[in-house]
């Protein structure tokens, strides 16, 4: 059975920067949970950041740029949390490999998990196209990453992998 690495906040765990969760209430998600497919993981907490924590954004690019050392992840107070985000991304990849997950379902917009758009690094609420650092690392390793609005696409890909 294919496993799905999933952002812990989407699985209902209160791990977001503000101490909240963003649970996915969809029947398909609950079906995967009942099947035992879901592997909840929070790269930010696993990387060593507390709950709650300061909001953070990628400054100077996207997740791939952070991996390449040309962008940083800073908090709204100016603290550099790049190392924690990189550690969390590496642990997410290790977890995916250990569990055999070839699919990840991650929280859109996050500097770790965004797959289509991320905040623009100005802490003004502006967004830009891009990926978070965990998403970029997983994609480089060949893992398909989807956001929480793409459950049908996840199911289609699961079906493809299992047949």
Q: Measured between alpha carbons, how far is 35 from 17 in angstroms, rounded to an integer?
A: 29
pLDDT of residue 7: 98
- What's the whole-model pTM score? 0.97
Widest distance between CA atoms in the chain: 49
Percent of the chain with pLDDT over 70: 100
Closest CA to 132 of 61, 35, 50: 61
- Tell me the residue length of the chain: 163
Closest CA to 114 of 62, 73, 53, 48: 62
pLDDT of residue 9: 98
What string of DSSP letters covers the chain? ---EEEETTTTT---STTS-------HHHHHHHHHT-EEEE-HHHHTT--SS---EEEESS-HHHHHTTS-EEEETTS-B-HHHHHHHHHHHHHHHHHHT--EEEE-TB-TTT-SSEEE-SSSSS-EEE---HHHHHHHHTT-EEEETT-HHHHHHHHHHHH-
Structure tokens that stand for 11 in this block: 């699985």
Across all residues in the chain, what is the average pLDDT?
97
pLDDT in tens, 85-140: 999 999 999 999 999 999 999 999 999 999 999 999 999 999 999 999 999 999 99
């Amino acid at each position: 059975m294919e496993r799905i690495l999933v952002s812990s906040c989407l699985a209902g765990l209160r791990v977001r920067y503000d101490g909240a969760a963003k649970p996915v209430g969809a029947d398909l998600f609950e079906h995967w949970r009942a099947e035992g497919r879901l592997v909840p993981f929070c790269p930010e907490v696993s990387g060593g950041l507390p709950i709650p924590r300061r909001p953070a954004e990628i400054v100077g690019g996207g997740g791939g740029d952070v991996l390449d050392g040309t962008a940083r992840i800073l908090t709204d107070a100016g603290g550099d949390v790049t190392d924690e985000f990189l550690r969390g991304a590496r642990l997410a990849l290790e977890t995916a490999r250990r569990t055999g997950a070839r699919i990840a379902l991650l929280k859109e917009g996050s500097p770790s998990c965004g797959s289509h758009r991320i905040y623009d690094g100005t802490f003004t609420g502006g967004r830009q196209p891009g990926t978070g650092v965990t998403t970029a690392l997983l994609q480089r390793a060949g893992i398909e990453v989807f956001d929480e609005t793409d459950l049908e696409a996840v199911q289609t890909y699961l079906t493809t992998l299992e047949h």
